[in-house]
């Protein structure tokens, strides 16, 4: 069933995803999980034993969308499509999430220094009993980083709300030697793939 209007819910706290949706003219309302959650655990972002990066990011994105859809129904909000997304950084098959502290952020940057890593961003759209989902993969090569540069970057606030401890659109842009894939996907929401999902759900995007 196509939505009655073209407004969606965004189940994400990321300011970058908000900016990217506005960039392509999508009308949305935030539906934050933590602040609205019913009793019981929120979606777990813990990696399950033996879980591969692609499976992980796909699962977490799908669960976020399903959880947000339940919140929408429990709060008796207007029924609209729910967009969810998750981004993970992968180096040597190891999943790098958001760093817990400065030491972990520095360790992540050391692991990626002078090397190419993968960025996976999965996007899902839920509406009624329908589900659309796509995962986009990009590769990013960081320059060889000195300890001084790593320490200076981790002394800022930028690394701590981002998978892999860096933001390509911020100060860390000076570390990037090469990318292959989707710049907006590396930011957290691949716009080509997102627009395709929205169009499939009957929400027109230019």
Q: Which CATH class is domain 8-200?
A: alpha beta
Length of the chain: 206
Cβ(143)–Cβ(117) below 8 Å: no
The yes-or-no verdict on residue 48 having pLDDT over 80 is yes
Going from N- to C-terminal start, the domains of the chain cover 8-200
Read off the pLDDT of residues 124-179 as tens digits, 9 standing for 90 and up. 999 988 999 999 999 999 999 999 999 999 999 999 999 999 999 999 999 999 99
Catalytic residues: 86
To the nearest whole number, what is the mean pLDDT of the chain?
Answer: 92
Contacts 24+ apart (CB under 8 A), 154-157: 154/102, 154/105, 154/106, 154/109, 155/102
> Is 0.85 topped by the overall pTM?
yes
Distance, CA of 96 to CA of 90 (rounded, Å)? 6
Q: pLDDT tier at 34 (50, 70, 90 boundaries)?
A: low
CA dihedral 193, 163, 89, 27 (to 10 degrees): 0
The number of CA neighbours under 13 Å toward the Cβ of 165 is: 25
């Amino acid at each position: 069933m196509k939505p009655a209007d073209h407004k969606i819910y965004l189940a994400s706290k990321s300011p970058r995803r908000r900016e990217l949706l506005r960039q392509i003219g999508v009308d949305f309302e935030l539906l934050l999980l933590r602040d609205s959650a019913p009793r019981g655990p929120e979606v777990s972002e813990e990696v399950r034993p033996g879980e591969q990066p692609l499976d992980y990011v796909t699962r977490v994105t799908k669960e976020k969308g399903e959880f947000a859809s339940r919140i929408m129904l429990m709060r008796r909000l207007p029924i609209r499509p729910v967009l969810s997304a998750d981004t993970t950084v992968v180096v040597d098959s190891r999943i790098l999430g958001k760093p817990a502290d400065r030491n972990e952020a520095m360790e992540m940057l050391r692991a990626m220094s002078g090397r190419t890593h993968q960025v996976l961003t999965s996007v899902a759209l839920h509406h009624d009993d329908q589900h659309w989902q796509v995962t986009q993969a990009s590769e990013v090569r960081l320059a060889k980083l000195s300890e001084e540069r790593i320490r200076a970057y981790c002394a800022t606030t930028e690394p701590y709300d981002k998978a892999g401890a860096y933001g390509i659109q911020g100060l860390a842009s000076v570390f990037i030697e090469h990318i292959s894939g989707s710049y907006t996907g590396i930011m957290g929401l691949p716009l080509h793939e997102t627009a395709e999902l929205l169009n499939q759900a009957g929400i027109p995007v230019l």
